[in-house]
Structure formats: structure tokens, C-alpha cells
Structure 1
Amino acid sequence: MWRLRALQPARQLLRARHATTQAGFTAEAIPQGRLEHHPILVSDGPTHDDQRRKVARFLAPAVVTERYGDLMAQVADRTVAQALESGRCRLDEAALHYTVEVTAELVGLTESDVPGLSRRLVSFFNQPPFDIARDDLGRSRLDWARAARNGLWPVARLWWHDVRPAIRARRRRRRTDIISHLLDEGYSRTSILVECVTYGTAGMVTTREFIVMAAWHLLGDDALRERYLAAEQPERLAVLEEIIRLEPVVGHLYRRVRQPVEITDGEQTWTIPPGDLVDVCVRATNTDPQAVGADPQQLCPGRGMPRGTAGYGLAFGDGEHKCPGQPLALLESDALLVRLLAHEPRLVAEPELGWDHLIEGYWLRGFELTLPSGSA
């Protein structure tokens, strides 16, 4: 097993097209051949390329802005209005419902209530820990039984309450969303269900964590918050990119090498042989002083990044498995944060910080805000 903590070698590994396969998110424990369409998150090779190409029309930056900009604004306005009415806001809960409502529109999970869908998506993360470097993931038989029980029950509930009615509605009339696209591609009900689980857990829920983390940073730095609120959207997005560079929601990206991959740090070269597992340590690569410059642990929006590397570093991955929802995640976060922070909320309870083994990322709970009376 290799661990890459420098940005240049990590980027080389992630960009070695078709030389590696997805090993994160328990991808290697998913039985092969059971589905005619492998989920986009864990598929590889030409099949994955074709999936990405077809889904890109839903998630391109211009499309997200044009098609979902008004929706994000409306849902964000409603979320903030509810917080103002009560005078309090538990941001981790508000952000969850907000991201689920927006992303559900894109995916097509629009035939059920948002709070219920939110609860069902969150329940997927009640899984026993595992060690990805071990063939059996380091789980006992009891752990595997718990994993099956805690995984299959949420899948069944999501199917019955959310996916089944969404498919029925789109069989009657197609819409501009991913479920309609999957039906046009001939996906079975089971394959559509798996894709909805993927988009729900990997997209909606992770954006929730970043919104809370970004708010935590902005509320703790008056100068940064004032700069953010005074800026136009491109500069605000640069601030958010710098925050997620420092605080990537997914902290580790795993790949299994299938063909020899050569990596270099400019001074020394290594060849990773087939069969080896590689752990790209995202937080370390994003704070590599050789790549991001002086004071890599400091928040500095607009810092110079290496050529070909975005301001968020590898926080959304890179190469063929780069997160296709990156534009949506940042625009969605900005739409809520700029509206909420404009009302000068006050932090009254910092969140509890924890770690989720399934996505190899952090979670934040109990982030309590109050809003000044009369701020509406």
C-alpha cells in the first residue's frame, strides 16, 4: 500500500487514465456482474467515461447556473426565512434539507417529502468501521451482518418512498433530470435505485458537511466574512475553494493499480506495480508546501496553485473520477451562505466533529446559531 502526501505525485496517479480502478467507498467489496450498469461512482474504464460524458450535461457549470440557479436562490431564501422566524438555526440540519431539496430536483427524487428523504439518506451512514487495506475490510462476521442490515433497510425504504414513485412519474412523462436520463438509457429499476443511492450519499450529504465547515470558518474570521459578503460571486467562490482546500470533506481517495504507474516528485521517480493499493491523502496533498506555496495551512483565497490545479486542490478528486458535482456543490454552498451570513448570525454552539469511514470524511453536528431580532 502506497500513501501519497505530495500533490504532484498524487495528481499523476489520479490522472493515469485506465491504469487504476476505484478502490474507495468499499468499491472492491461490491459484487461484480450483479448489475447490468455499474454505479458511476465505482465504475471504471470506457464504461465510466461514457457515463461521465452523458451526465456532464446535467452538471456543467453553465447548466447548473442556468437550470438550477433560481431554485437554489428560492430554497436558500426559504431556509433563511425559517431561521429568521424562529431566531435560531441548527445549521447542520438546515443545510441537509437545503442540499437534499436542490439536488433531488437534479436527480429526479421529487415525488416525496424532503425531510423524509433526508432521514433516509442519512441512515445509510450507520455502518461499522472498516480497514480498506484488508481483503475482508477488517470486519468480523457480526460486522458484516450489521453492515448488511444497516444498509439494506435504508435501501428498501428509499426504494419504496422515493425512487419507485419517481420512476413511475417519469415513465408517464420524462423530465430534465438524471432518472429520466437513466430510463432513456435502459437502466433497470435496481440500477436506477443504486445510482440514486450514489448521488444521494456522495452528493447531497457531503455538501451539507462543507456548508457547515465553511460557515464555521467564516463566522470565526470577521475580516474574511466581510470580504466574502462584499465580493461578487467569482471571488466568493474563490474563498470557498480555499476553505475546502484546507478542509476537504473526503479526506482519502483510494485506487487499485492495474497497470504500472510512474510517479515523480521532480527529484525521484517510483513505479507502482499492478495490484498495489494507493491512498491519496487529500488533506496532506492540499497543504503540500512545494505545490501551494508558503503558509499552506493558512487560509489565503486566491493563492497561486500549480498549473492545471484548481484552487480547491484535490478536494474534489482529479482525473477520470473527479467529482462531477463540483460546480453544483460550490454554487449551492454559496447561495445559502451569502444569504445567511448577511443577517449576522451569532454562533452559540460549536459543532461536534466526527469521522465517517464510508466516505473517509468528517461530519459536523450540533452547529447552533442565533439571529438578531428584527434582522428580517
Structure 2
Amino acid sequence: MTGCPHSPAPRDAVDRKALPAGETPLPEVEERDGQWHIRSLALVREILRAGGATKQSGFAVEAAMRSLPLKRWPVLYADGPAHREQRSKIARFFAPAVVDRDYRDLVSQRADAFLAQFDDGQPHDLSDIALHFSTQVAARVIGLTASDQERMARRLAGFFDQPDSMLGELPESWWARVRSAPDHAQQAAKLGWFFLKDVRPAIRAHRVALETAGQGGATAPDDVITHLIGEGYSELEILMECLTYGAAGMVTTREFLQMAAWHLLEKQDLRQRFLSADSAGRRAILHEILRLEPVVGHLYRRVRDDLPLVDSTGTEHLIPAGSRLQLYIRQANSDARQLGDDAESLCPGRDLPRGVRPEVMAFGDGVHRCPGNSIAILESEIFLDRLFRRDVTLRSTPRIEWEDVVAGYAVRGLVLAAPRSS
């Protein structure tokens, strides 16, 4: 049994802030509502590492594949050889050494610029600051730098702030589709606006830069859009890649920054430990908060062939081919069987089973593990270190909002203030 080696919490201690109503301990494997629900760390990890045994079924992938005329699917959606090829080609943008070399200065500059707002001594909502900060960093990595960054952040936030049904599968019945048509039309309009105002200008600017570089001029930008143009992606295919990178790099980072700040605000000892630690120590704290508070709580997979699973009691389950799996990341990340009885308490540097990462399943695992994990942690470490050196205090009680399809949380109303800068 693993757990916290420093100051083990009582068995019933719970530090988690984001816990959907009704998401209490349930069976490791359960067939319900036409899906198989998988909740243990061992089985979630086994499925995510199963490679060709399953395929992506979350983030509206199946609805998109029925309705969009794409030859190349976004890296989030693709599977099999096409996905492996995509991941190998984009790896150079997200390797830890590359991230530290190419983006540390950018992240530091953007963090200082946005956190300077606290110098006026007035209260500020961290949600807005975190959104614009994470958007500008992600925009540089992607190449979305030919439009107004603040307006782009608002456009993306508006697009992702959709009813739950917009993020799931299209309704099957004709009447349900009729009723949901206005929402889908609104979503399509927001996506079109993002394309016209942000993606198309970026594509045009990149093509000009590539042509100039080809004629012996300035060096072409080295980012995702340059790579996609070089691979012959269509404008629609580039749009879809920008959208998926935007969700991962802007929206999820925004929420984690706030959640981590909330924990550090309320736990003075942890905050002092964070501020006095070296980089490895700060990252250990961030990984543990992320383990406890994964931004995406559920992942989905579709079984290709019959899939046998054996739970911790030795009971065998045969998942039929074609079945949809709902993987509970939040429960896997606090599985007491592998993480100890104090798995719902916060303990940076806790003992973990061999092969389990500090954040456990919060970045996913296997072939679809989040490629941007290194830059997300770099952003969080630098932003929060600079934030708390301003001696900020909490001015309001935050609230949690939920997106039910992926059990993703949004922190709202995290209002902070710092002493006025002299």
C-alpha cells in the first residue's frame, strides 16, 4: 500500500475541491446506460495503454467524423498509424528540453505582463488573467499570432462555453436534432468567426513568411501551423487542429492555474513550501494538485474487438466489440488500492506504484497522452511563482461549474488582490 510518507492524512481526509455531485465510489467495472464505466487506476491505465484495442470516442470525435469532410483528422481524434505519424512529427514542439529552451522566456514575460494588473491594488478575477495568459502562450506555439490576441481569447472562450450536448454526440432522433439545431448553428457560427478572424489570417501570414524564406529572406516561423502547411493540410484541417490545440493549451491550462492557485491560497504551509522550493519541488506540488484535481474527469474509448478485463477482485469482464468505455480519471487518480487510504488528500512527493507518474492519469496515458504536458507545467510553475510573490489574498469564495460530458470543471469568481505597488 502506497501513500503519503510525510504526514499521512486521516483515512477520511478530502482535499479535493472539484467533485461532481453523485460521483461517489462505485464498482470498478459497471455496464450501465449502454456504456461500460471503468473506475480503477489499474484498468483505466490498462485500457489507455492498450494501443490498437480501442479507438478515440470522446470530444465529439464520432459526430465530427460523420459530418466533416477531412482527409486528415486532428491529432486528438486520429488513431492507429496515422496518429503515430502525427505524434512523431509534432514531438519536436513539445519535448521538455525544447519547451524549456524556446518558451521559458516567453512564458515569463507574459506572466509578468498580465500579473502587473495587480499593481493597482484593486481586486481582479484570476479567470480573465489566466485565460489571456494561457491563450498568448498557446498562440505562439500553434502560430495563431496574426490577429488580436485578446479578442481571440474571448472568441475561443465563447466557443467552448457551450451546452453539454454541443461537446458530446449529435442526438440520434430527428426531433432531438431539430430542437438542438439552434445551438449547433450558434456553435458553427462561432467556429466560423474563429476561422475568419484568427486562423485564416495566420495561415496567410505563414504562407507569406514561407515564401519569403524560400527566396532567401527571413527565417520562417517554427510552429504548428508552419508544420501543417508543409504537410499539405487544407484550411479546414488546420482549423480543426487549431481548435483542438486551443482547447488543450488555453482552456484546460486556464482552469488548472486557478485550481492550483486556490489550493495554494488556502494552504499557507503548502504555499510557503512552493515559494521556497526549487523547480523540481514546485512541480511536485503542481503534479499532486493535478492528480487530485484533473481538469478532464472522464475519457472515452470505443472497443475494436472483444476486450477482456480482470478487476482487483479477480472477476473477469468481457467487453464486447463496439462497446463504448467511459474512463473515470478522477476516481482512478484517487484509487486507494494503489495510492493509499489518504488518496483524496494532498501530499506532494507521495509514494506511488512503480511506473505511475506523479499526476497519475491527469494527462491521460498511452498513445493519446497529452503532448503539451511539459509546457502546461512550465506555464503553471512560472505563473504561480510570480503570482504568489505579489502577496495576493483571496477576496471572494470561488465556485465550481461543470461540463458534464467530460466531467470537466471551471473555476469562476476567484477574485484576488495584492497591495498597491508603490
Query: TM-score, with normalisation over the residues of structure 2?
Result: 0.85
Is 2:146 the partner of 1:111? yes
Is 1:128–1:146's contact at 8 Å kept on the other side of the alignment? no
Offset at 1:109?
0.3
| Cα distance in 2, alignment partners of residues 240 and 313 from structure 1 | 12
Is 2:187 the partner of 1:151? yes
> Which sits farther off after the overlay, 156-165 or 143-152?
143-152
Alignment of 1:219-368 (within 5 A): 219-268=265-314, 269-357=316-404, 359-368=406-415
Secondary structure of 1:355 counterpart: strand
1:63 corresponds to? 98
Secondary structure of 2:164 counterpart: coil
> Which sits farther off after the overlay, 264-273 or 45-54?
264-273
Distance 1:141 1:5, change over 3 A: same
Offset at 1:147?
3.4
Structure 2: which 5+ runs fail to align?
1-34, 210-219
| Cα distance in 2, alignment partners of residues 132 and 166 from structure 1 | 26
2:198 corresponds to? 162
Correspondent of 1:23 among 45, 53, 57: 57
| Cα distance in 1, alignment partners of residues 398 and 148 from structure 2 | 27
Is 1:133–1:277's contact at 8 Å kept on the other side of the alignment? no
Which portions of structure 1, spanning 4 or more consecutive aligned residues, are displaced by more than 4 angstroms?
Answer: 131-135
Secondary structure of 2:72 counterpart: coil
Distance 1:62 1:137, change over 3 A: farther
2:71 corresponds to? 36
| Cα distance in 1, alignment partners of residues 268 and 323 from structure 2 | 46
Offset at 1:134?
7.7
Offset at 1:287?
0.4
Matched AA of 1:19: A
2:128 corresponds to? 93
Matched AA of 2:376: A
Matched AA of 2:53: A
Secondary structure of 1:42 counterpart: coil
Offset at 1:202?
2.7
Is 2:420 the partner of 1:373? yes
| Cα distance in 1, alignment partners of residues 226 and 351 from structure 2 | 41
1:102 corresponds to? 137
Correspondent of 1:125 among 136, 156, 160: 160
Offset at 1:166?
0.6
> Which sits farther off after the overlay, 124-133 or 324-333?
124-133
Q: Which has the larger radius of gyration?
A: 2
RMSD: 1.9
Q: Aligned pairs, how many? A: 375
Is 2:60 the partner of 1:14? no
Offset at 1:308?
1.4
Distance 1:114 1:260, change over 3 A: same
Offset at 1:296?
0.5
Is 2:58–2:168's contact at 8 Å kept on the other side of the alignment? no
Is 2:296–2:329's contact at 8 Å kept on the other side of the alignment? yes
Matched AA of 1:160: L
Distance 1:281 1:359, change over 3 A: closer
| Cα distance in 2, alignment partners of residues 131 and 55 from structure 1 | 28
Matched AA of 1:354: E
Is 1:353–1:362's contact at 8 Å kept on the other side of the alignment? yes
Correspondent of 2:230 among 178, 184, 190: 184
Offset at 1:6?
0.8
Percentage of matched positions with identical amino acids = 44
Offset at 1:373?
2.7
1:209 corresponds to? 255
> Which sits farther off after the overlay, 314-323 or 258-267?
258-267
| Cα distance in 2, alignment partners of residues 126 and 98 from structure 1 | 18
Structure 1: which 5+ runs fail to align?
none
Matched AA of 2:288: E
| Cα distance in 1, alignment partners of residues 319 and 369 from structure 2 | 21
Distance 1:223 1:196, change over 3 A: same
Offset at 1:70?
0.5
Secondary structure of 1:354 counterpart: strand
| Cα distance in 2, alignment partners of residues 22 and 189 from structure 1 | 23
| Cα distance in 2, alignment partners of residues 41 and 66 from structure 1 | 25
